Amino acid sequence: MSEIIQLHDKKFIKYIPSQEIDKAVSEVAEQLNRDYCSDPPLILVTLNGAIVFAADLLKQLQFSSVLSCIKLSSYKGTHATDTMKTLIGLNEDVSGKRVLIIEDIVDTGKTYQTLVDLLNEKGAKEIRIATLTLKPDAYNLDLPVHYVGIRIPNKFVVGRGLDYDGLGRNLNDIYQLVN
């Protein structure tokens, strides 16, 4: 795959090679295996973006967990919008359970906060998050981000599940928007 790709009207340049991403995923898996082996969580995958990270991660987990999915949406194109919609809701009972959220990216943290509020409302015992990428300069919550694969600058990226208007999720490397 070339260094520069085009998705719709925008160009993206290769930014994080797949080997580096694989290593980061394995490191997160190691931490999860250490922290959850004796008391596994319910794993909550955020659709659509986190499916690739979740699939890569789950194969490396050495404990059995129930898997559930949820779909929230706040992005349009390359910018977040203010309205957070629940497109597919939570269908597992999380009451009294440890929950591990799997995210592709934590940007401002708005999605994470929405999930935490929802899970608290449903009586989850403990809520943690594992994210493939985190934008520390954009993140503005006090909530801890427990497991982070790769910290990235505040620029729009695609690949490994992350899309630009529906395209780019299948890219094995992560690409950054060329301005």
- Which residues bind to ligand 5GP, rule: CB under 6 A? 49, 74-75, 80, 104-112, 156-158, 162-164
CA atoms in the 13 A half-sphere facing the CB of 92: 18
Q: Which is nearer to ligand 5GP, 61 or 143 (CB)?
A: 143
Catalytic residue among 35, 93, 104, 107: 107
Instruction: For residue 107, indicate whether it is catalytic.
Output: yes
Give the nearer residue to ligand 5GP in terms of CB position, either 16 or 42.
16
In this structure, the strands spanning 10-16 and 174-177 are antiparallel
Report the distance separating Cα 48 and Cα 169, nearest Å: 9
- Cβ at position 138, least distance to ligand 5GP in Å: 7
Question: What's the Cα-to-Cα distance from 175 to each of 5, 26, 73, 128, rounded to whole Å?
Answer: 8, 20, 21, 27
Q: Tell me the closest approach of the beta carbon of residue 110 to ligand 5GP, in angstroms.
A: 4
Angstrom distances, CA of residue 24 to CA of 13, 56, 156: 20, 11, 19
CB closer to ligand 5GP out of 64 and 179? 179
Point out the residues that are catalytic.
107
